[in-house]
Structures are given as C-alpha cells and as structure tokens.
Structure 1
Amino acid sequence: MEQKKKGFTTGILHADRQKGIEHGSLHKPVHNSVAFGYANARELAAVFQGRQPGYRYGRQGNPTVAALEDKVNLMEDGAGTVCFATGMAAIGALFQGLLRAGDHVISSQFLFGNTNSLWQTCAQQGVTVSMVDATDVAQVKAAITPATRMVFVETIANPRTQIADLERIGALCDDLGLLYVVDNTMTNPWLFQPKAVRAHLVINALTKSIGGHGNALGGALTDTGLYDWQRWPHIAENYKRNPPKTWGLAQIRAKGLRDFGAALAPEAAHHLAVGAETLALRTARTCSNALALARLLQSHAKVAAVYYPGLENHPQHALAGTLFRHSGALLSFELLPELDCFAFLDALQLAIPSSNLGDNRTLIIPVAHTIFYEMGQERRASMGIAESLLRVAVGIEDEADLLDDFTQALQQV
C-alpha cells in the first residue's frame, strides 16, 4: 500500500527516523569523525569508486550532514542536495563546479551584496555576467548570447524586495536549455518551492530562516531533477559513468565541495537540522509580524517609503500572492530625508542593529552604510537603494511589542 505523503513539518520532524538512527535517538547524532574505516580494503575501494554507499572523508560528507541534506531535499522536493559551510559557498560551487572561462551568465541585478561581489570575481576570471532587471522576462531574453549557460535569480530581492518574473523565466530557460538557478533564501521552502517554476538548481542559505536561531552557518544546493545534464557541456567524463540525472550534483559535490573545501561542520549541521523542525511555525509568525509592521510604517508621517510585497502598492504584490504562501519576513523603508536614520536606530529598544536575517529576533541595519557600502553609491543607486534605506528582518516577537518599539522610536527621531 502506497504511503500518504506527509505534511511539511511532519516530514521534517520524522525525516531522520526514515533511515534509522543509532541507539534509538530521536535526532541524528553529531558524528565528529573526520575519517571512516571499513571491514576490508575492497569495501573501502568500492566506496571511493562509487560502487557502494559510504563515507570517504569528512570534507566530502558525514552522516550528520547527510541527514540534513535529506531534510533540505525533502523540503525542496529535490532529486538530491549538497550542503556547504555557508550559503555563499553553495553559490560559489556553481562557479567552481559548473562554469568555465568563456561562459556567460545572466543574473538579476537585484542581488544580495556578496553574490554581486562573487559575480564580479567571476567576470575577472573569464566568465561574463550580464546584470538585468529580472522582474521582466523580456530583459532576461534580450541578454541571451550563444555563450549563455545559466540564469540566476533570487525569489525576493534583498533589501528592496523586488520579485523576479520567476515563472516566465523558468519557461524561457526550459525552451532554450539554459540552467535555471533560483536562490530561495529570502522566501524558504515552506513559503515557496522553486521547482514549481521549473527551477533546476535551488540555493538556500541555511544560516537564515531554515536554521532560524542565528547559531550556525550553512548553505545548500538542491537539484530539482528537472534539468537534462546531457545538455551541459562541462561534465567531466568520470561523472558520466552513472545515470545522467546524477551528473550535475556529482560534479558539484566533487569540484565545488571536495576540491574547494567548503565543508559544513557536523555540529553546525545538527543545529540547522533541529532548527528546521519549526520552520513553518516560525515563518508564519515572522510573516504576520512583517505585514503588521509594514502597514504601521506605511501609515506613519515620518516614513517616506516602505518596500514589502504584502503591501497593495508594491509593484509585484499580485505576483507575490500567486507565487508565495506569504510575502516573507523582510522589509525595508526610508525615513523622511531630513531625519537621521542613526538616531532612529539608536532609539529602538527591541529591534537589534545586526546584519543577519531569518533570526528569531528582529534585526535592522542601515543598508548603504554597511552591507552594501563596498559597492559604491552609483551601483547602489542602480539597484534602487537609497542612502537612508533601513532593512528590517522581522522576528517572532509579540506583535504589539514590536509595533510599540518602532512607534516610540519614530516619535523620538
């Protein structure tokens, strides 16, 4: 009898037990061993040659990390997942594992600052990158060249919350055989599964809402199983011994993880796996708080602009409603030009000036002066980032307390 598919949270909670856990533990234990031994040398050789499942060396895989990979894969309905030390390491694995000099990438111009910096590094090493307004599929299509291999977008842009034309870009990539990569960090798999818009690879910074507690770094790259890796021109011959559907992830695991050394530590993997159990519960609360805060700010006389997809005046409000379960936990806003944003930040009592997001606590940061400072004013202006822009990553505090804190700070500034 075929088993009924479990709900999102139920599946995560009981994922470890599907493969059996040592000594009846309810969580996969932390395996700190770097090396793994086998009963005989032939068995060891079979593991290294891929003829038998097993672990070779801690940099390439670990039972605790593998259990987390299973959970993320379950969340994204993937064909396979590889975990990394950070979200940026997962994005870097695209360049390290798949791209070659002469390739062309089309990327959304509305990007996390470090991803933008990475694409600049790629451009210096022979991979050309076109930055386009991905809210319009026509701009993506216009940037395609014979050398184009990949299209990379984020679901909701950080910090101005622009939403990429996700479904139409997916259809375009499908038609042309381009690899479609979607960074799902700003939503998360409970709010949205990029596989639904035909994404081929999905990035998640596990550090953020999946881990949720701000106590562990991690990243993941999931293959949705929708891409035909026989179309990819840079697969090494030794990865072609297995079925084509495994080629891409096998090369990413070897070239992006093993060779590059961006391995996730087992202790961090354990923290992230436990944090993931409450993802749906936490996200429902943070999204509800974010909408309430956005509405408060929008109605306040000292606020010049608010950017949040849940507001009716957001350019992609209707699109967000069709794609996502909720509009996310991140918003940004600008005070009136004559007001001092630093004075406002100092007046807050609950919201914490900090650069992280997806934490249980509400965090706020002056974007142009911190995380986007390095790219310069001209590049910030092209992304619509005002010098006074404040980004808020909303937490799970009681709504009334959160609204009271912003209200009193606005009164003081």
Structure 2
Amino acid sequence: MTGDGFDPDDFETRAIHAGWEPDQETGAIMPPIYASSTFAQDAPGEDRGYEYSRTGNPTRTALEDNLASLEGGEYGRAFASGMAAINTVLNLLEAGDHVVVGRDVYGGTHRLFTGVYEDYDLEFSFVDATDSDVVAEAITDETALVWIETPTNPLMQIVDIEAVSAVASERDTLLAVDNTFATPYLQRPLEHGADIVAHSLTKYLGGHSDVVGGALVTDDEQLDERFGYYQNSVGATPDPFGCFLVLRGTKTLPVRMDRHSENARQLATWLDDQPAVETVYYPGLASHPGHEVAAAQMDDFGGMLSVDLAADLDAVREFVSATEVFTLAESLGGVESLLEHPATMTHAAVPAPERRETGITDGLVRLSVGLESVEDLQADLEQALAGTVDSDR
C-alpha cells in the first residue's frame, strides 16, 4: 500500500517523495540500494519484513509504493521487464479463457499472446478497441480479460477507457490498460475504471534508457496478492539497482513529460504540413480521430508520434538511417530522440497481413521525441526527408 499521506492532486510532490522518507539512522535522502540477497531473521520464521530479495527488497518496495501513488492506486508490483509484468497478468487466466485485445498493440505483447499463451489453450481476439461496441461484441462467456493500450503502439490510436471499462464491467471481465506511452503524469486509467495498469518502466518512468523493468498497479487487494504470489513464484523481479534507477527517473517525470509533449506537439504540427508526409498520427492534433477522447482522459498528449511517408521500403530505410539527432533504435521514452521502423523492428513479429490490416504500413515510422532543442529536431527531420523521400508528390 502507498501509505504516503500526500495530497492526491500534488503529483509533482508525490513523484519525489512517495515511497520513501529520509533514512532515520543516517538521514539519507535517496533510498539505499539494498544489494542483499537475504535478510537476518530474529527467530525461525520471524523476519523484519524481508526474508529473501526475490520475495521482497526494501529498494523495490520504495519503487512499488511510489508507482502505486503516482497511478492513484493502492498496490504496486515491480518486475524485471514490461513483458514480465504482462505475463503476470496472463497468469491470472486458465486454459479455455478468452482475451479481447486492442488490435494495435506492441509487437512483443502480440508475440506473447499468440506465440506463447495460445499454446496453453488461451484464445485471443484482436479487435478495434477504439469502438467500445466492437469490444462488447467480441466478449463471450469465456472472456476473462480485456487488454488495451492507449495511446496505442505504433498508430497512436486512442481508446476510451471509461467506455471500454463499462463494457467489461457489465460482463464481469477484467480490464487491463498498458499506460506506458502516457505515463501516470498524463493519464491514470484506474480513475477511468480500469482494474489493472501495466507499465514498461524501461520507457518514460525510467526515462534515461539505462534500465529495463515493468510494473503493475491495482486497487484490488486480491489481485495484488495474486500478483505478489506469481512475482515471488516465477522470480521475474527487478534488481535493487534497477529499482533505484527507476526511482531516480520518477522524480523528474513531470518536467520531462511536459517537455516531451511540447516538443512532440510542435513536430507533429510541422510534419503535418510536409508534402513528403502523408499522415501524422498524434492525438494532440485536432485532426486526429481520437483527439476529443484523448483531451478528456489525458492531461497532455505525450512525446510519441508516428508518420506514414507512403514511400517504398527502400526510401523509408534511407530516411530512418539519415537522421543525425534522432537515433535509429528500438525502445522509447528516454531523454534522447529515437525513431524506428515498426514493420521491420518492434512489430516484425506480427505477421505481415495482420500488420497491414491494422494499418502498419512499410512507410510507417515511429518517433520518440526527446528533450533536445525542437529546432534541432525539426532541422534533422527536414534534412532526412529532403535527402531520401520524394517531397513533390
């Protein structure tokens, strides 16, 4: 539990202080990195709150409490990666269960669902989650979970969390929301009816491209107890140093997300006017079909955007290799700007016909807009476009 006592409206204060108070013995401001695999017990079975670091570690507890506070939840659990967190949610299910999934999801999520868990007799239906009626039609008597992202990866679609929550709740089905792109600074799915919030801590919450981790947050004590059981049993837990790094990242999350959002908004507006760009996917643009829903459930629109260059694959490969400030790399959410080609990188595991049906074309490029000078970022994209993509279409 969070137990932090901070005003729930003071996100910036909680980002810095929730989960840890200065050490009473030493006065240390930052939580120590408890690099201990085991902990002394006063008598057999009588520990002081910790017994073994897979089961629990004080540095990890500080992070889990911090994350729960930021999401406005009661309980948080940290994992070795975002995929380990998602896998833990699927551990709730039984053979024969059915899952409704938003069609546009991270390629690793798609791979886990179809390449691993379908072998254990789970069924997955990938649908257009931006339409809650479509979600409702997909739910069957065997449906145990609805899984969505918003904004989605990589098409930046917006799912109305409250509308999908109402549908899931009516059918007594759990709703899990991957909140990685938005972060709790911009969107808190529990406030809109979600049962579970998932994060890749590797991204904005860590914020510096130097740690891999995942998290789950919930208000449901029974769900949290099951997450804790699987966390300990499977052992996909983060090391204390990784937890320390993410805690460092959450302290600056508000100021970083403000700058990410500002830079992305300016670049999206500029890109929308470029002849070489056919479509810009950014929920902060008034032309985005999910703009109104995003404005209602998000406090800003984030640092992620995608563009469809409607160019052939060779030209797109040249473009993503021609930038000098943007770095061609997978992942996102660090202080540096990255770009990647979903069809051959993050979503290569999704079969090509399914990619095309979803809208992931060979011309789609995803940008993680960092904290550099926006003028430098724009100039970089401009020179890359001019040198590789026909702008006279």
With the length of structure 1 as denominator, give the TM-score of the two structures.
0.89
Unaligned runs of 5+ in 2: 389-393
Give the aligned partner of residue 14 of structure 1: 17
The aligned amino acid for 1:7 is D
Identify the match of residue 245 of structure 2 among 247, 267, 271.
271
Query: CA-atom RMSD, angstroms?
Result: 1.6
Q: CA deviation at 1:376?
A: 2.5
Aligned to 2:387: 412
What is the aligned counterpart of 2:335 among 341, 360, 365?
Answer: 360
Matched residues in 1 for 2:45 and 2:252: separation?
43
Give the secondary structure class of the aligned counterpart of 1:41. Answer: coil
> Would you say 1:262 and 2:265 are equivalent positions?
no
Does structure 1 residue 100 correspond to structure 2 residue 103?
Answer: no
Give the aligned partner of residue 126 of structure 2. Answer: 131
**1:176: how far off?**
2.5
Matched with 1:333 is 307
Match of 1:39 among 37, 42, 55: 42
Aligned amino acid, residue 105 of structure 1: V
| Per-residue CA distance 1:120-152 (angstroms, 9 max, x = gap) | 121221111111110001111111111111111
How has the CA–CA distance of structure 1 residues 192 and 15 changed in structure 2, closer, same or farther, with 3 Å as cutoff?
A: same
Name the structure 1 match of 2:217: 222
Partner of 2:256: 282
Partner of 1:298: 272
* Cα displacement (A) at 1:22: 4.9
Compared CA separation, residues 302 and 62, structure 1 to 2 (3 A): same
Q: Name the CA shift for 1:21/1:383 in 2 (closer, same or farther; >3 Å).
A: farther
For the pair 1:115 / 2:90, whether they are aligned, the reply is no
Structure 2 residue matching 1:331: 3-state secondary structure = strand
Question: 1:192–1:325: 8 Å Cα contact kept in structure 2?
Answer: yes
Pick the aligned partner of 1:320 from 280, 287, 294.
294
Find the residue that maps to 1:153 and give its secondary structure.
Answer: strand
TM-score calculated relative to the size of structure 2: 0.94
CA distance in 2, matches of 1:3, 1:136: 37
Q: Does 1:57 align with 2:52?
A: yes
Q: Give the Cα–Cα distance (whole angstroms) in 2 for the partners of residues 112 and 62 of structure 1.
A: 30
Mapped to 2, the partners of 1:55 and 1:42 lie a distance apart of 11
Distance in 2 (CA, whole Å) between partners of 1:377 and 1:176 is 33
Instruction: Pick one of 29, 33, 53 that aligns with 1:30.
Output: 33
User: How big is each residue's C-alpha offset from its partner over 1:50-78, in whole Å with a ceiling of 9 and x where there is no partner?
Assistant: xxx61121112100000000100110111
Q: Give the secondary structure class of the aligned counterpart of 1:69.
A: helix
Residue of 167, 173, 196 corresponding to 2:162? 167
Which residue of 2 is the match for residue 71 of structure 1?
A: 66
Q: 1:100 to 1:268 in 2, by over 3 A?
A: same
Q: Within 1, Cα distance between the matches of 2:321 and 2:59? A: 41
What is the distance in 1 between the residues matched to 2:39 and 2:234? 21
Query: Contact 1:199–1:224 (CA<8 Å) still a contact in 2?
Result: no
Structure 2 distance, partners of 1:99, 1:5, is 33
Alignment of 1:327-406 (within 5 A): 327-337=301-311, 340-406=315-381
Letter aligned with residue 154 of structure 2: P
Describe the SS at the equivalent of 1:23. Answer: coil
**Match 2:151 to one of 151, 156, 160:** 156
The answer to whether the Cα contact below 8 Å between 2:19 and 2:61 also exists between their aligned partners in 1 is no
Deviations 1:150-202 (A, max 9, x none): 11111111111111121111112222321111110011000000012111111
Kept in 1, the 8 Å contact 2:22–2:30? The answer is no
Deviates more, 1:123-132 or 1:284-293: 123-132
Unmatched 5+ residue regions in structure 1?
Answer: 45-52, 226-245
Is the 2:54–2:235 contact (alpha carbons within 8 Å) kept by the matching residues of 1?
A: yes
d(CA) in 1 for partners of 2:165, 2:19: 32
Summarize deviations over 1:265-300 as a string: whole Å, max 9, x none. 000000000111000100010111111111111101
- CA 1:393–1:71: 2 relative to 1, 3 Å: same
| Residue from 277, 284, 287 that aligns with 1:310 | 284
Figure out how many residues of one structure are paired with residues of the other and give that number.
382
Task: Kindly indicate whether the alpha-carbon contact (under 8 Å) linking 1:21 and 1:27 is maintained by their aligned counterparts in 2.
Answer: no
One-letter amino acid of the counterpart of residue 101, structure 2:
S
Whether the 8 Å CA contact 1:76–1:224 is kept in 2: the answer is no
Q: Contact (CA 8 Å) 2:21, 2:29: kept in 1 or not?
A: no
Alignment correspondent of 1:229: none
Does structure 2 retain, via aligned residues, the 8 Å contact 1:150–1:178?
A: yes
